[in-house]
Amino acid sequence: MKLAHLLTAAFLATSINAARVAAAATNGVTVENAYARAVPPTARNSGAFMLIRNDSDQDRKVVVAKSDVSEVTELHNHIHDNGVMRMRRVDAIDVPAHGSVELKPGSYHVMLIDLKHQIKPGEAIHIDLTLDDGSTVPVDLRVRQVGMGMMMNKGASMGGKCGAMKGKCGAGKCGGAR
Ligand SMILES: [Cu+2]
């Protein structure tokens, strides 16, 4: 009898956990307006931008981005460093509860480093974002031509702070954003 109760309790606990996992899979985090920047044939890197919305009661963080178009995929931000705009890898991008964060040129972006092929306008690519709760948000993006004026200006300095990047900015507007 006791054993039966224990088993029932264990079963209930398992069900609750299963429900939690299911809830995590639909974590209330959605992505809109996702696009990646088309690059010229010689470019090694590009950037991806999107609006990430969190309709849940929990603050969330994006902790990992993965894509199979690039050898390395990183979360980046731009910072002002003595008046110079630099890109920097970040460990996480916060997405507040009932809020959103916009990944855009000159700000947060997903950095696609060491592209396996030239990504061209109209191409569909895929990025998986992993959240701090372990769930994944799949993102389908279109590659878009972003104005050349958005590309890195001469004044920008990577300062070797851009992870695996080799001194080239693909995220657009690096250094140009004021
Ligand atoms: Cu970057």
Residue 129 domain-assigned?
yes
Question: CA–CA separation, 136 vs 107, rounded Å?
Answer: 22
Residue 19 domain-assigned?
no
Residue 11 domain-assigned?
no
Residue 32 belongs to domain spanning: 27-150
Residue 171 domain-assigned?
no
Residue 166 domain-assigned?
no
**Domains in the chain: how many in total?**
1
Residue 143's domain is classified under what CATH number?
2.60.40.1890
27-31, 102-106, 142-146, 156-160, range with the lowest pLDDT: 156-160
Q: What is the pTM of this model?
A: 0.70
- CA torsion 162-167-171-173 (nearest 10°) is 110
The answer to whether residue 85 scores a pLDDT higher than 60 is yes
The mean predicted confidence, pLDDT, of the chain is 79
Mean pLDDT (whole number) for 114-126 = 97
Mean pLDDT (whole number) for 28-34 = 96
Residue 13 domain-assigned?
no
**If we measure between CA atoms, which residue out of 66, 69, 67, 64 comes closest to residue 39?**
69
Distance 49 CA to ligand 1 centre (A): 11
Residue 167 domain-assigned?
no
Question: CA–CA separation, 132 vs 127, rounded Å?
Answer: 16
Q: What is the DSSP letter of 117?
A: S
Contact in structure between 29 and 60 (CB atoms under 8 Å):
yes
Residue-level pLDDT at 94: 98
Distance 22 CA to ligand 1 centre (A): 33
Neighbours of ion ligand 1 (CB under 5 A): 76, 87, 111, 171
Residue-level pLDDT at 137: 96
Distance 13 CA to ligand 1 centre (A): 43
Distance 5 CA to ligand 1 centre (A): 55
